Structure formats: C-alpha cells, structure tokens
Structure 1
Amino acid sequence: MNRTFWITSLIVFVNSLSFTILIPIIYLYGKQFELSDFHTSLLFSTYSVAQFFATPVIGKLSDRFGRKPLLIISLAGTVIANLIAGTATAAWVLFFARFLDGITGGNMSVTQAVMSDITSPKNRAQAFGIYGAAMGLGFVLGPALSLFAQQISIGAAFLAAGLVAFVALLMTILFLPETLDKQIQKPGNIFDLGLGNLIKGLAMPGIGILLLINFLIGTTFTMFTYAFQPYFLKVLDQNNQGLTLLFLTFGTLGVIMQTWGISILKNKFDVVKILFLGLFFRSSAFMLMPVWANINYFVVVSIMFSLFNALVQPMISTLISLNAKPEEQGTVLGLNASYLSISNGVGPVIAGVIVNQSQPITYSYPLYLAGFLTFLVLGFAIYSRRQYTPSNF
C-alpha cells in the first residue's frame, strides 16, 4: 500500500468521524423540534433520498474531471450543512441542512474510487477492508466526541461534525494527489451526468445484481438502525451515555474485524463466502436482539452483531469494484452508494410506520422484521451468486 492509499485512509477516517458524531443524536435532535417518530424517520430519509440522486452524478463527474475536485466539493457541502444544522432554530432549517448534506454527500463513492485507482484487483479486498476499518475507527471516536459535545448542547454536536469535516477538506486540498488515469477515455457527452445510470446500472452484468442486493441489505439494516436507539432507550431503559458507549464498542470491534479478521478470513474463504458469513450473523443478531429485554443479553448479541456486520459492506464494495472496468470505477461505486442511500431512506420510514411511541415494545418489531428480511436477502444472494462472482474465483 502506497502513500496515497494511507492519505486516503486518513481522510476516510476523519470523514467517518464527522459522520458518526451525528449518529447518536439525530433522533434526539429531531425530538427537540417536537418531531414525531414518523417525522423523525423523514429526517433520516431526506438526507438519503438527496444522496440517491446526487451520488451517481458525483461518481460520474469524478470519472470525467478527477477524484480530487469532486471530493473537495462533497466535503465542503458537509461542512456547510452541519453548520446550518447546528444553528437551526426551526425544523424546516434542519430538514434543509440534511438535504444539503445529502445532495453534496458523494465522498464515500469518490474515496472508494480512489482506492480502486491505486490498488490491484488482487489486493482490493484487503484495501476495502482497511477502508472499512478507517470508517470503523471513526465509529470508535465519533460517539465519544459526540458525548463530549452533547454536554454543551445537541446542536453543538453538529458544529463539531462540521469542524471535523473541515479538517478532512483541508487534508484533501493539501495532501491528496489526483489518482484518475488521464489516459482513460472521457465520455463524449458533457451533459451525461450519470442519472440515467440509476436505471441502466441494474442491467450491467455483474453489477446490477449487486446493486439490488445492496439496496435490500441497506433497507433491512436501516430498519434496524432506526429502531435500535429508541429500543435501547425506552425498552431497555438505558440513557444516552450508554447508547454512545455502545456505539463506541461497535466501532472498536468493527475495526478489529476489518483489519485483523478480514486478513485471516480471506486466506480461507473467497469474498463471496465472507459476504454470506456476514449476512448470516447479521440477520441472526437482528432476530435475537429483542427476544429478551435485558441489557446484559442485548450487549452480548450486539457484540456478535458488530463483529460480523463489519464484513458486509467491504465485501460488497470489493465485488462491485472487481466486476467494473477501470474507467467505470467512480460511476459504479457512485451507483452503489446511491442505491445504499435510497435504502437508508426507505428503511427508517418502514420502521417509523410500524412502531407506536406510546407502546415501547413495538420498537422490537422492526428488529424482528429486519432479521427475517435479511435472511431472505441472504437466500437471494446465494441463489444468484453465479451472476456476480468474478470468473477468477
């Protein structure tokens, strides 16, 4: 791994730190504006739907104009959006800030394209594992910084996230070189921004089936993440400090699995089998979590979940990258992030509809449903594996 790889990993870590500062507080911040559970789910969805349309455009433009300028634009949008959210005085301002963050939020797909530019197919699974670990390390420190900022106010956590994203922006401007091969032929139609690929991508050999699988995976996962916080707070009767510490634990274990764990597993299993392993334990954990409303039991199941859940996205990204041509890396990884984003908009709404805040036990329903549906997605992934398994596997 060269210098650019580690610079990119550091940028990914700082960007992830900015994002994960917000995870423990978006639900609580929505409640400060007296939003219902359903309207809070729309707050999650606003960001995700905006990302759905923006990410393929950003990915396509990064294939045309380079990774660095698009990453700068994306990070600048995150900085501005978090500053607006942190100083919001009305709910509509908060919704606008989340929309702005989503419409400029293509940094994940661009940094993944950078990883693809600078690594060989042989080393790509390990590279995306380290990429995931850099994000996971953000999950370790992000909740801790969030907890510190919350001592001032919940809005201060958004300001802290904006400041951290600004650090990532400066690192990109000062230290990240351009990685796009200038000899790769650029598309002739300058008005082709990649939105048409949202549909065309589903028909791409080896790519379309993975986009569909990742959309389904993302939908079930965000049903879980939406219900996870209120279940922990209201059913298990825990506080926000305990929630933040649990997120910190998730991040720590995820880093261990995505560095040490993947390096061991890839010597025994191929990427497809590691994906199946992650999905099996993820779905099992979803189903087991609400069986017994006991904090000690919940923590044990959560530990199993955080270890194996860390395998899923790195393997999906690896398979998509291996099935794509070099000149399409930004485009297809942008499509992947886009479909993952829209799933992040669908999942919370489904969860928000089936819960009843006057009956806390209903927060377990999305967990059961997410587990059952993830088992179905695993079955579909196994059934269709020949369509996306690289020929050299």
Structure 2
Amino acid sequence: MSQTPSSPPAVRAPALAVLFAVVFINLVGFGLVVPLLPFFAQSLKAEAWQITLMFSAYSLGQFFAEPFWGRLSDRVGRKPVLLATLVANALGYLMLAFVPNIWLAVAVRLFTGLGAGNISTVQGYVADVTPPEQRAGRMGLIGAAFGLGFIVGPGLGGLLTQPQLGRLGYQLPIFLAAALAALAAIGVMVFLRESRAKADPSAARPAFLAGLKDAQTDPVVSRVLVVTLIYMAGFSAMESVFGLWSESRYAWGAREVGLSFMIVGVISVLNQGFLAGRLARRFGEARVLATGMLLFGASLVLQVLAPVEWFPAARLELGGLSLPVVQGWVVPIIMAVGACGMSLAMPNISAMISRASPPDRQGAMLGLNMASSSVARIFGPMVAGGLFSGLGHDWPFLIGALLTVPAAVMALNAGRVIRKVDDGVKAPA
C-alpha cells in the first residue's frame, strides 16, 4: 500500500512506545549526569568555570544538531537518523566515563549534545504516522516523556553515585546512560518502520533560524523571546553551579543534588498538567508568565538567604528520640517554588507566541523560541562559572534573580500588545 501525505502509514503500538522511550532516554541520560557532573569533573582537577563549560558544550551541540538532524531526516528518513543519534549518545556516554582530563570531557559533552538533538526527528515521525486529529494527543506523550525523564534521571543518578568507590562510583550512572541509549537503538531497529517517503530534492528548504527578522519586528514575539533567554539562562546557570554551591555550603554530594532536581521535575510536571492552563484562562498568559518569572527569581534569592545550619549538631532531639538532620533540607523546598515559577512560564510563552503569529509562521516562531532557550543554555553556565569563581558562590543566583525583574516587565508589556490587538487597536511596532 503506497504512502501518501493525506494517508499516514499505520503505526504499531510498539513503535510509539519506542519513540516515547527515545525522548525519555535522552532526558534520563541528561538527568543522570546532572547531579554527578560537578563531582566527576572535580575528580579530573577541574575549576568551577571548566565544570560549567561542560554544561555549555552539551547545549552548544544540541543547538546546531537539532535543525541539522531534522532537515536530514526529511531527506534520508527518520529511522536512520534516530539510529545514528542513539548510537552517538551511547558512544558519548562511554567516552565520558573514561576521559583522562577535563578538556576531553568538554569535547565529549559537545559530541553527546550533537547526538542528543533528535527531538525534532521524533516529532517528525509522530506527524508522519498520525492523522491530524490525533497529533495533539500523541505530541503530548512526547512532552510527558520530557517531564518523566527529568524526574527519573536526576534521582537515579544521585542514588547510583557511590563516591566511596572513587572514580568508579561516578562512572556507574554514566554506564547506565550508555546502556539505555543502546537499548533504545535496538528498539528502533526492531520495532520502527520508516515513515518518510523520499523527499523531493528540488523542494526549498527552510533556512537555519528562519523567521528571525520577522521575530525582531514583532512587538510580542521579540519580547517573549527575550523572556525565554533570560529565565532559561538563569535556570541553566543555577543548574550548572548548584552541585558546587551545595557542596561548599552544606557538604552535599551527588545524591542530595540529584534528589533536589528530581523534586524540581515532579513539581514542574504536576504544575504544567493541572495548574498552568487553569491560571492562564483565569488571569491571562502574560500575568501568569510574569508571576512565574518573579517566583523563580524569588527562589534564587531565598536559596542564598537560607541558613547554613538550622541544627548545628546535625541531630534533632524530639520526644526522647535523637533524629539525624540533613543540613540544607529547606533548599529543595525553595527549589520547588522556583519550579512552580518555571512551569508556569514555559507553556504560557508558547501560547503567547502562537497567539501573536500567523498560522503559516507559528512553526518558525516556536522554533526560534527553542533556539533562544538553547543560546541561554550555552552562555548561562559560562557566565555562572565566571561569577562563581570570580565574585563568590552566591552571585550566579543573585544575578539570575535580578534579571527576572525585567523579564516580568517584558511579559506584561507583551500582554498589553496582545490585548490591544484583540481589542482592534493597532499595535505599536
């Protein structure tokens, strides 16, 4: 039976499960190494700015790889691209486990980021095999895989890390990430059939970062892209130095860091699923976005202000019982506040861009938003490493918090423009 654009090929349930697993494994693999990366890098005698450079290198690889793999999958098919990226992931994690110095570790992280940029290919496969009326639901599954991966990855990475074993104790989670990528590659080979008909070589291809000029002149999209840039830079900065910060302040290790990020993932998934949409319908996307920015900024300040020791003896006497107390236990609670803010921000940013863009430019504008997020993840950790080493451990948090104020103002201004357009008033350029 021939494949036509109007009649997507039949898709088997195992194929969708494999696609879900590909996205899930990408995020689990990323999340597995997040809590241990600073401590693993310290075993290589790395400085703080070099450690944060490992985070930036991964995001730099994703920035260039995502559009490249997406365009390549349009030409040669989805299945070979998925296989290539998963094999690259597995090799990247294995190489990371055995790197002898920090500079090779940075190079390996760049390579792994190049292999991780396959989300657009997964989305393309889902669109290929799904009737239009079912695409929203199946794309939602891909989003669920994102959230679930970021819940499982950091927690599992923290639990598997065994510092008492030396370097091997940091290699164990990395080996698991490599094994999961290899397992997903086997699933692609066994369960996935090619979904893409051969592309017309004469068809025009969209340029890299297509629509940038239109975005710059749009009073809503331009502001919202800056909001994305600011809040994602703040989060990636915090993420990259959090292990070093919590180690110096509370003597935490990879386990405590991993469980803290797992809490962030849980709160984000719950808020996006049950709260963000209801609040936006009641108060408007712009107000909810601005509130999310300020909540996130407040959480960064509260982390700095949190007492170093609530119980100096590290034990709590309660009813004749002597209970051990984890120093810094309030920090995950504060991080949950920040996660609430971020989870309110992300869906409303997409909604505002969609409302402000014509149907034939929505894809390009949303793609630019992803590019803005990637740029923030490249430069946020770099700046954080310099601030951490040069000015002090708390400065990456304080600068990130300060930047959320203009981000909130921009969100409110973008909301005013949208309301004027809705009211039939010509929006200012």
Counterparts of residues 1-393 of structure 1 (less than 5 Å): 8-62=19-73, 67-112=78-123, 131-151=142-162, 152-175=168-191, 188-189=203-204, 194-195=207-208, 197=210, 200=213, 202-203=215-216, 209-262=223-276, 264-265=278-279, 268=282, 271-294=285-308, 295-317=328-350, 319-320=352-353, 323=357, 329=363, 334-356=367-389, 362-385=392-415
In 2 relative to 1, CA 248–196 (structure 1 residues): closer, same or farther, beyond 3 Å?
closer
Distance (Å, rounded) in 2 between the aligned partners of 1:103 and 1:307? 30
Distance (Å, rounded) in 1 between the aligned partners of 2:339 and 2:279? 16
Whether contact under 8 Å (2:20, 2:141) holds in the other structure is yes
Distance (Å, rounded) in 2 between the aligned partners of 1:237 and 1:170? 41
Shift of 1:24: 0.5
SS at match of 2:307: coil
Gaps of 5+ in 2: 1-11, 163-167, 309-327, 424-429
In 2 relative to 1, CA 377–267 (structure 1 residues): closer, same or farther, beyond 3 Å?
closer
Whether contact under 8 Å (1:55, 1:334) holds in the other structure is no
Whether contact under 8 Å (1:285, 1:302) holds in the other structure is yes
Shift of 1:97: 1.1
Shift of 1:234: 1.0
Distance (Å, rounded) in 2 between the aligned partners of 1:224 and 1:383? 27
SS at match of 2:406: helix
Whether contact under 8 Å (2:67, 2:208) holds in the other structure is yes
Whether contact under 8 Å (2:237, 2:380) holds in the other structure is yes
SS at match of 1:310: helix
In 2 relative to 1, CA 148–155 (structure 1 residues): closer, same or farther, beyond 3 Å?
same
Shift of 1:363: 1.5
What RMSD, in angstroms, separates the aligned Cα atoms of the two structures? Answer: 3.9
Higher relative contact order (CA 8 A, sep 6+): 1
Distance (Å, rounded) in 1 between the aligned partners of 2:214 and 2:185? 30
Whether contact under 8 Å (1:72, 1:172) holds in the other structure is yes
Identity percentage over the alignment? 23
Shift of 1:371: 0.9
In 2 relative to 1, CA 193–128 (structure 1 residues): closer, same or farther, beyond 3 Å?
closer
Distance (Å, rounded) in 1 between the aligned partners of 2:347 and 2:191? 25
In 2 relative to 1, CA 210–164 (structure 1 residues): closer, same or farther, beyond 3 Å?
farther
Distance (Å, rounded) in 1 between the aligned partners of 2:250 and 2:109? 29
Whether contact under 8 Å (2:56, 2:382) holds in the other structure is yes
Whether contact under 8 Å (2:263, 2:332) holds in the other structure is no
In 2 relative to 1, CA 250–196 (structure 1 residues): closer, same or farther, beyond 3 Å?
closer
TM-score by length of 2: 0.74
Q: Which moved more, 1:200-209 or 1:71-80?
A: 200-209
Shift of 1:156: 2.6
In 2 relative to 1, CA 274–78 (structure 1 residues): closer, same or farther, beyond 3 Å?
farther
Deviations for 1:13-52, whole angstroms, at most 9, x for unmatched residues?
2321121001101111211111111122222222222332
In 2 relative to 1, CA 28–128 (structure 1 residues): closer, same or farther, beyond 3 Å?
farther
Shift of 1:370: 0.5
Whether contact under 8 Å (2:296, 2:340) holds in the other structure is no
In 2 relative to 1, CA 179–278 (structure 1 residues): closer, same or farther, beyond 3 Å?
farther
Which structure has the larger Rg over C-alpha atoms?
2
Distance (Å, rounded) in 2 between the aligned partners of 1:388 and 1:57? 33
SS at match of 1:29: helix
Distance (Å, rounded) in 2 between the aligned partners of 1:123 and 1:265? 25
- Give the letter for the 2:235 counterpart: F
Q: Which moved more, 1:346-355 or 1:231-240?
A: 231-240
Whether contact under 8 Å (2:94, 2:175) holds in the other structure is yes
Deviations for 1:154-174, whole angstroms, at most 9, x for unmatched residues?
123222112122333344444
In 2 relative to 1, CA 143–171 (structure 1 residues): closer, same or farther, beyond 3 Å?
same
Shift of 1:372: 1.0
